[in-house]
Amino acid sequence: MLRLTNRQILLGITGGIAAYKSAELTRMLKKAGADVRVVMTPAAAEFITPLTLQALSGNPVHLQLLDPEAEAGMGHIELARWADLILVAPATADFMARVAAGMGNDLLTTLCLASDAPLCLAPAMNQAMWRDHQTQLNVQALQARGIQFFGPASGEQACGDTGWDEC
C-alpha cells in the first residue's frame, strides 16, 4: 500500500460535477499524513469554493497561472518541483484532452508539463463523454505515457444517466 506520511501531493481539481468529492479526498489525504496543495482550474472554482479546499488542506489554493502575487511566493515551477505526486481528481474530458495534446494553457496543465512527478488521473464525466472516440484516444495516449488512471467507477450519474462516470 502507498504510504502517504509526509508525501507532498499536488491535488488538481477540474470543472466537473464530481469536484464536490475533492473536499472529502483532501481530508482523507491529510488524515493519511500527506501534505496537500490544491490547484484548481477556473471551471473547478465554479463547482466548489477555493475557501473550502484551503480550509481542508491547510494551504493556500492555487488558481491562476498569470498571477504576479503567486509567482512571488510558490510560483508554478516551485510548485511543480514540490510535488511528489500530482493527482487530478476529478479530471474532466477537456483536461485530459489538453494534457494529451501537451497544452499548458492554465496553471494545472502547465504544472503537469513542468513536473517530473508521477501523474494520476481520476476521470469523471457523463457516460457518453467517456465513451466518445476522441476521449478514448486521449486516455490511450495518456496511458501509453505511463499516466495512471483511477476509475471511472460505474453507477447513477448526476445527469440521470447510468454508466461509467464518477471517481
Active site residues: 159
**Strand segments (E) across 28-104:** 35-40, 85-91
Residues that bind ligand FMN (CB under 6 A): 14-18, 41, 43-44, 92-95, 124-125, 129
The four Cα atoms 143, 62, 21, 105 give a dihedral, to 10 degrees, of: -40
DSSP, collapsed to helix, strand or coil, labels residue 147 as coil
* Shortest CB 101 distance to ligand FMN, Å: 13
Residue closer to ligand FMN by CB (options 54, 127) is 127
Instruction: Name the one residue in this structure whose C-alpha cell is 494534457.
Output: 99
Decide if 121 contacts 148 (C-beta within 8 A).
Answer: yes
Residue closer to ligand FMN by CB (options 43, 114) is 43
Residue closer to ligand FMN by CB (options 4, 41) is 41
* Grid coordinates given for 9: 501531493
d(Cα 156, Cα 160) in Å, to the nearest integer? 7
* Shortest CB 13 distance to ligand FMN, Å: 8
* Shortest CB 3 distance to ligand FMN, Å: 30
